[in-house]
Amino acid sequence: MVEEHILEAVKKVVEESPERKFSESVDLAINLKNLDMNQPKNRVDEEVILPRGLGKTLKIGVFAKGDVGLKARDAGAAYVISEEELDELAEDKAKARSLANECDIFIAETQFMPIIGKKLGIVLGPRGKMPIPLLPNKDVNELIQSKQSAIKLRSKDKLTFHVSIGRRDMDSEALAENIEAVVARVERSLEKGRQNLKSIYVTTTMGKSERVV
């Protein structure tokens, strides 16, 4: 069972925010306190697997070749990028930027990682989209499926940061479960747990917000 006040906050935001002509995301605004964010150890940089998913299919790009590339395509990868195509992207930065903006996540076989860092790091790095390494003993299908429900919590050097935890058309209880998972992970990542958490608000893309922590 989810906490009642979180569920009520989600319901209120979803019901009272104006209807839009597009699929709105449901986001959290996370506010920290009593932390020196110039110290990297105080920054939040965590991955959370949302128990109820994001309510949409992420576009995942996979740098792979041969059998791994075929498996990635079968697993639903939006793009499978070969070594030759990687070289083409390195030469065509506009095409590389377009691909980086279109894909939510990238995965790469480990042998591709140094090449990607050298040739595409300037494009992917600032967007926070450097690929997740696919280790030799890992199954690309399993990794793709797990990343469909994964989000990154990144505060960088700010006391306030935002993250999407689902879509407005999802069930309110599902959204509340996702929120609880994020809150728990944020607390575990902070030096003093809840004491370093000033507040968390839930909101739709262009709607009202309600406090959940």
Q: So what's the pLDDT on residue 22?
A: 82
Domain boundary among 95, 117, 147: 147
In terms of residue numbers, what domain contains 128? 60-147
Domain boundary among 92, 119, 147: 147
| pLDDT for 23 | 81
How far is residue 12 CA from its own chain's centroid? Answer: 25
Regarding beta strands 105-109 and 79-81, do their DSSP bridges make them parallel or antiparallel, or are they unpaired? Answer: unpaired
Q: What is the pLDDT of residues 130-159, one digit of tens each?
A: 999 999 999 999 999 999 999 999 999 999
**Domains held by the chain: number:** 2
Helical H segments across the chain, by residue range = 4-16, 66-74, 83-91, 93-102, 113-124, 140-147, 172-189
Q: What is the pTM of this model?
A: 0.82
Q: Is 135 exposed, middle or buried (0-12, 13-18, 19+ CB in 10 A)?
A: exposed
Considering the domain architecture, whether residues 70 and 138 belong to the same structural domain is answered as yes
Return the pLDDT at 204: 94
Percent of the chain with pLDDT over 70: 100
The pLDDT mean for the chain works out to: 95
Shared domain for 203 and 159, answered yes or no, is yes
Same domain, 179 and 106: no
* Domain CATH number, residue 119: 3.40.50.790
Strand ordering across the sheet containing 79-81? 79-81, 60-63, 105-109, 132-134
Regarding whether 33 and 65 lie in a shared domain, the answer is no
pLDDT at 125 over 90: yes
* 18-54 confidence digits (pLDDT tens): 888 888 999 999 999 999 999 999 999 999 999 999 9
